Amino acid sequence: MKKAVDILIVDDEPDYLIALSDVLKDKGYTVDTATDIDQLIAKARKIHFNVILTDTMLPGMMGAETFNEIKEITPRTIIMVMSANYKKNMEKEFIKAGVYTCLLKPFNIDKLLELIERVKSKKGR
């Protein structure tokens, strides 16, 4: 059985990974990190994450195709996209591929925490 970890943060900006990990750990979540899609996929195969919070401009990222793949590996995981490059069409494609929400960086951290709590309290997650 896979070990349950609350959140996987995926970003290739090391400072951002540290900052967001510390905020989420501070709020009591267990957090793991990855810096590219290969790492994300490898970790998602071993560990069950409630939430994957991922950037979109990452090594190995193939857009909607990547999210379909993640959903196949771990269908119950909520995927939240955080991007510094906002495109409405891209957002629509991601949502179709199973992404829960898209956040434009920099976003309001309280709103992110609200979203995480909302999806965590959902049945079966």
Partner 1 sequence: MDKLYSDYKNMVTKITKSLSKAKRINPALEKEFMDISDKLVDFTGKIKEIEKLAVLGKIISATCHELRNPLSAINTSIYFIQSNLGKDKPKLIKHTDIIQREVDSTTRILDALFLFYKSPEPSLISTSVNALIEGILSDIEIRMPKKRVNIRKGLDPSIPKAMIDIDQLGKVIENILQNAYDSVGERGKIRVGTKSVKDKIQISISDNGCGIPEGNMEKIFDPDFSTKSRGIGLGLALVKDIIERHGGSVEVKSKIKRGTMVTVTIPIKHSRNNL
> By the criterion CB under 8 A, which residues form the site for partner 1?
13, 15-16, 19-20, 22-23, 26, 57, 82, 84-86, 88, 104-107, 109
CB of 83 to partner 1, least distance (A): 9
Q: How far is the CB of 70 from partner 1 (least distance, A)?
A: 22
Q: What whole-number distance in Å separates Cα of residue 45 and Cα of residue 28?
A: 24
Structure tokens at 84: 């510094």
Do 7 and 23 contact (CB within 8 A), yes or no? no
Write down the least CB distance from residue 63 to partner 1, Å.
Answer: 16
Residue closer to partner 1 by CB (options 4, 57) is: 57
Question: Closer to partner 1 at the Cβ: 96 or 105?
Answer: 105
Nearer to partner 1, 4 or 86 (CB): 86
- Give the nearer residue to partner 1 in terms of CB position, either 72 or 114: 114
SS3 content of the chain, % helix, strand, coil (to 5): 45, 25, 30
Closest contact distance (angstroms) between CB of 105 and partner 1 is 4
- Could you give the CA distance from residue 121 to residue 109 in angstroms, rounded to a whole number? 18
Amino acid at 29: Y
Helix, strand, or coil (residue 76): coil
Q: Would you tell me how many other CB atoms lie within 10 Å of the CB of residue 74?
A: 20
